[in-house]
Chain A
């Protein structure tokens, strides 16, 4: 261990006194960040819907749902040829 590293060790020794309280502060900051991130993750899409609703919009239900059992458009010709 060289003189620079010995000096580092001295400072590290000083830090042990206050290290625990600093650690608690860091943990609390990190959990706050995590909490905010979770809120965004879970509620952001809902907030979007809510804002749309407030703006007077509503879900577009006019489009007909595709029928999964129907023949895809690119295979319609194939089907009609087969019937012949």
Chain B
């Protein structure tokens, strides 16, 4: 059963097995994003509960213009970004002033990022800024398009491209710095 079908049945009959199915499909994924973003197990557990509750309370608002997974992930990222902003007292995770960023000479290829070993990637993601981490997860973990990321972050597509470029550069730099002996 595809996601939209499950949602229709849930909304019509409040069927418990539809809830189970969606929880099975997305519970772990939401948790994974929460722990990657918040870097704290207990916080990630609470966040997963709150995000899932939010999703189910707003299920009727899902308009099927995007994939259900994209909608779920955008709620998750927005929740985590809001939490981090509140915690860091209005820190701007995705600042607009890209003119302040240093010019990047050669773009890091996707292959270079996707060839990082999982144990290295875990450490690198922890070291990255919250905004950089989020944008890399959206692109490489969730397969979101530039357009989808731009709409989620309320930024222009060119700003998102620049952010991704910067984040990839930082990830490469961190890999060289943290895993010198393995490099």
Contacts and interface: CB of A to CB of B under 8 A. Distances in A.
Interface residues of B, number: 30
Interface string A4-41: 11111011111110110011011101100110000000
A3 interface: yes
Interface string B17-45: 00100010001110111011000000001
A5 B27 CA distance: 15
Contacts of A7: 32, 36, 118, 121-122, 125, 141
Nearest to A5: B141
Interface residues of A, number: 25
Contact of A2 (B35, B36, B56, B114): B114
Contacts, number: 76
Interface in B83-121: 114-118, 121
A25 to B, nearest CB: 5
Contacts of B23: 19, 23, 26
B121 A3 contact: yes
Contacts of B159: none
Contacts of A27: 19
Contacts of A16: 28
B12 interface: no
A8 to B, nearest CB: 4
Q: Which 10 A-B pairs have the closest CB atoms?
A: A12-B28, A11-B32, A4-B141, A4-B140, A15-B31, A8-B32, A15-B28, A2-B114, A6-B118, A26-B52
Interface of B: 14, 19, 23, 27-29, 31-33, 35-36, 45, 48-49, 52-53, 56-57, 114-118, 121-122, 125, 136-137, 140-141
Given A4-B114, A26-B56, 4 more contacts: A7-B122, A8-B29, A23-B27, A27-B19
23 contacts: A3-B118, A3-B140, A4-B114, A7-B125, A11-B28, A11-B32, A11-B36, A12-B32, A14-B35, A15-B27, A15-B31, A16-B28, A18-B45, A19-B31, A22-B27, A22-B48, A22-B52, A23-B23, A23-B27, A26-B23, A26-B56, A29-B53, A33-B53
